[in-house]
Amino acid sequence: MRDEGSEATGDSPTLGQVGEFAVIDGLVRGRSQPLAVLLGPGDDAAVVSAADGRTAVSTDMLVQDRHFRLDWSTPHDVGRKAIAQNAADIEAMGARTTAFVVGFGAPADTPAAAVDALADGMWDEAARIGAGIAGGDLVSCPQWVISVTVLGDLQGRAPVRRSGARAGAVVAVAGDLGRSAAGYALWHKGIHEFSDLRRRHVVPQPPYGEGAVAAVAGAQAMIDVSDGLVADLRHVAELSGVGIDLSTAALATDHEQLVAAAAAAGSDAWAWVLGGGEDHALVACFADAAPRGWRVIGRVLDGPAEVLVDGAQWQGYAGWESFAG
C-alpha cells in the first residue's frame, strides 16, 4: 500500500469498504515519530513536546478544486503541499516545526490507496522537516477537504511578528517567488513545457530552516508568501506602520525562466512574482544586512503603510482572496 504508484487505482478497496478504523490503522502503523512527539496517534489526544513552555500553532484548510485538483496533483503531491504550506507558517514566526495533526474528509467511494498516498506525501514532507504527524480525524465528506494544524517550538526566542518592521531596514526573501503562480498558469493553459514550474505549483518548496535563521539573525518582522508578495507585505506594512519599497532590479535575479514561461502562457511574469502566492517563500526585514542565503529585494521606509514597487504603486494583481472569483 505504500508505493506512490499504487494510488487511486480502480482496484483499490474504498474507504467505505475498508472502514474508518481499519483505514486509520493502516495510516498510523509503522510510522516513526520524532522525539518531539511524546505520544502519537491512538488516544483521545496526542502529546507534543513544547520545550520552552510555549507552542506556536497555525491551521490551514485545503478544499478540492479550490486549493488543489486531483487531475493536476497526485494524492501524494496534495499531502506534501498541505504539510509544506502549514510548516511555512511556523517558519515565518522564526520557530521550528515539531508536529502536525490532520483532519481529512473524503467520499466513501475514495480508494483507500489514494488516502494512503496522501498520508505518505504528508509523512514524506514532514520527514524533510524532522516533524511528525501526531494525530488526525477521518470523516465522510462530498469532496476532499484537508485541514492541517501545525505546532512549532520557538526554541526560547521571541516570535517574529508582522508588526516589527522599522524604517531603514532591508527587506529580504528566502525561497521562490512567482513559481507556483507560473505553474498554475501553465497547468491552466495546458502547456506541457516548464515542468519544474508546474511541479512547484503542485508541491511548493518552502525554505525550511530559514525562519529560525532569520530569527537568530534578528529579523524585525517576517511573513510567509501565501497570498502574494505585495498582498502579504501589505500586512507587514500596515501592522508595522511603515512603507515598503520593492526593487524590480533586485527581484529580477533568476527571472529568465519566468519571462519565458510568461511569454508561452500569455501572462506577465511580474504579476506572478509580485502577486502570486503559494510559493511559501519567507520575507523578512533586517535592520542591517540579511543573513546568508537571503536575497535583499527592497527596503523599509517611513510611512505611509503601503507597498511600493520601484517607488510607485503596484497596479497589477496583488494576491489571493478566499471568496473572490
Is residue 175 within 8 Å of 280, Cβ to Cβ?
A: yes
Q: Which is nearer to a second copy, 44 or 288 (CB)?
A: 44
In whole angstroms, how close is the CB of 91 to a second copy at the nearest point? 8
Does residue 304 have a cis bond before it (omega within 30 degrees)? yes
Instruction: Supply the minimum distance, in Å, between the C-beta of residue 38 and a second copy.
Output: 6
Q: Show Cβ contacts of residue 254 under 8 Å, excluding neighbours closer than 6 positions.
A: none
Assess contact for 303 and 241: CB atoms under 8 A. Answer: yes
Instruction: Centre a 10 Å sphere on the Cβ of residue 249 and count the other Cβ atoms it contains.
Output: 9
* Residue whose CB is less far from a second copy, 115 or 117: 115
Give the nearer residue to a second copy in terms of CB position, either 23 or 203.
23
How far apart are CB 159 and a second copy at their closest, in Å?
5
Cβ 143 vs Cβ 65: under 8 Å: yes
Owner of C-alpha cell 486531483: 70
Least distance (Å) between residue 273 CB and a second copy? 21
Smallest distance, Å, CB 229 to a second copy?
Answer: 15
Q: Is 1 or 239 the residue whose CB approaches a second copy more closely?
A: 239
The nearer residue to a second copy, 221 or 309, going by C-beta atoms, is: 221
Q: What DSSP line would sit under 171-238, residue for residue? A: EEEES-SSHHHHHHHHHHHT--S-HHHHHHHHS----TTHHHHHHHTT-SEEEE-SS-HHHHHHHHHH
